[in-house]
């Protein structure tokens, strides 16, 4: 029986710079995707335990049942009130690319005008609070009250749950930088984009009021491996994740929570439980696979799948060369079966020192959808 855990990344006052293909250095995303997290994590595992150990670990991840599956990171947010408890933490999940059950269509609403206003708001919600996500996609589904609240947005259960407050968890800003040419000493002025998560100063020091979290699924109970991976993640927190680490960006502290025992994640235990056989699967990680039989089941044989694909590339630090590009299914994609995924070999042809992998190992949650 596998084991689920939730990991919080607390950045405190540290800025982060999470670049993605095509957005430029002046912009920064607010979260890290599963392939980037996996690469950074494994790189620090190699620093701690050496080349032989990391090669053995990667070989385990190449097996049909890898030892660990991780989600992409998503936003969590805690209230500022000192009287609040951890149970008030809001965890955001990506909205599945299918309508929830009982979602109203056309004539089910009072008018075409209401339909348009409601639909625009619904489509703008890329991330949903955990309790709303669970109710819409695993529970009773969509209600008439939800449609009314999406049109109003100033009151009701959706407002109280933080459905419209996703962007209040962080702020985007830019810092000026100067680059100096090593040969000509000419200067170039530019800006770099950063994200700052919400924090506050209290009697105990700096408290992270928002940050990132991700889910981990361990295939087997392997305490030695878990201990090593936790140590590698701690080292990653000291080194920093993302770009601009030389400027102190991306530093974090990690907190591991057991879904079964941690009071702050009590509702998660029900979220990860399997549903009935008719349930679909919603990706909460990136996913890649080159097995034609699996891809055929996911997208060719089933017209009910809904998905988006994104190119993933980037530079490799050793030698400053580009990794091969791969196209991956993104979070929120919906399939009729669990998408397994695997490591993609993205080693550039001119790089001979060792293999370079990008993780397309999938992690998904069961959902009910409207067909």
Are both 125 and 26 inside the same structural domain?
A: yes
Count other Cβ atoms within 10 Å, centred on residue 16. Answer: 28
User: Is the distance from CB of 363 to CB of 37 less than 8 angstroms?
Assistant: no
Are both 63 and 145 inside the same structural domain?
A: yes
d(CA 258, CA 109): 42
pLDDT-based confidence at 369, cuts 50/70/90? confident
Whole-number mean pLDDT of the chain? Answer: 87
Backbone torsions φ then ψ of 273, nearest 5 degrees: -70, 145
pLDDT tens digits for range 254-313 = 999 988 765 555 589 899 998 888 899 999 999 999 998 998 888 866 668 899 999 887
User: Is the distance from CB of 349 to CB of 356 less than 8 angstroms?
Assistant: no
d(CA 120, CA 105): 13
Share of the chain above pLDDT 90, in %: 57
3-state secondary structure of 67: coil
Indicate the residue among 249, 270, 291 that finishes a domain.
270
Better pLDDT: 98 or 114: 98
3-state secondary structure of 336: coil
d(CA 356, CA 46): 13
Are both 336 and 265 inside the same structural domain?
A: no
Q: pTM for the whole thing? A: 0.90
Q: Which two tokens stand for residue 213?
A: 């979290």
Are both 317 and 244 inside the same structural domain?
A: no
Least confident of 79-93, 265-279, 351-365: 79-93
Q: For residue 118, which of 94, 144, 95 has the smallest C-alpha distance?
A: 144
C-alpha of 170 from chain center? 15
Domain encompassing residue 325? 279-367
Are both 217 and 313 inside the same structural domain?
A: no
Are both 90 and 231 inside the same structural domain?
A: yes
pLDDT-based confidence at 111, cuts 50/70/90? very low
Are both 264 and 149 inside the same structural domain?
A: yes
Strand pairing category for 326-329 and 334-335: unpaired
Q: How many structural domains does the chain have?
A: 2
């Amino acid at each position: 029986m596998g084991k689920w855990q939730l990991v919080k990344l607390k950045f405190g006052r540290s800025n982060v710079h999470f670049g993605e293909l095509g957005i430029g250095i002046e912009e920064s995303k607010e979260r890290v995707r599963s392939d980037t997290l996996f690469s950074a994590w494994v790189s620090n595992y190699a620093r701690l335990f050496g080349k032989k150990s990391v090669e053995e670990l990667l070989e385990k991840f190449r097996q049909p049942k890898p030892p660990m599956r991780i989600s992409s990171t998503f936003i969590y947010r805690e209230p500022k009130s000192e009287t609040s408890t951890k149970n008030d933490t809001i965890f955001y999940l990506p909205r599945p690319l299918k309508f929830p059950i009982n979602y109203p269509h056309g004539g089910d609403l009072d008018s075409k005008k209401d339909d348009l206003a409601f639909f625009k708001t619904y489509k703008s919600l890329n991330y949903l609070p955990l309790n709303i996500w669970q109710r819409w996609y695993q529970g009773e589904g969509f209600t008439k009250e939800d449609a009314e609240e999406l049109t109003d947005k100033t009151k009701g259960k959706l407002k109280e749950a933080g459905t419209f407050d996703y962007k209040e968890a962080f702020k985007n800003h830019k810092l000026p930088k100067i680059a100096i040419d090593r040969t000509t000493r000419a200067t170039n002025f530019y800006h770099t984009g950063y994200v700052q998560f919400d924090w506050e100063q209290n009697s105990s020091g700096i408290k992270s009021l928002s940050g990132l979290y991700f889910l981990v699924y361990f295939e087997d109970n392997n305490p030695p491996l878990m201990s090593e991976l936790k140590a590698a993640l701690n080292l990653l927190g000291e080194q920093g994740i993302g770009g601009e680490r030389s400027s102190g960006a991306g530093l974090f502290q990690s907190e591991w929570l057991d879904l079964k025992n941690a009071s702050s994640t009590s509702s998660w235990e029900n979220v990860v439980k399997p549903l009935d056989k008719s349930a679909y699967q919603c990706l909460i990680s990136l996913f890649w696979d080159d097995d034609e039989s699996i891809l055929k089941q996911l997208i060719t044989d089933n017209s009910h799948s809904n998905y988006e694909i994104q190119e993933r590339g980037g530079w490799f630090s050793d030698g400053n060369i580009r990794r091969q590009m791969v196209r991956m299914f993104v979070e929120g994609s919906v399939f009729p079966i669990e998408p397994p995924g695997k490591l993609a070999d993205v080693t550039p042809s001119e790089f001979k020192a060792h293999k370079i992998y990008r993780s397309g190992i999938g992690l998904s949650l069961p959902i009910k959808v409207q067909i």
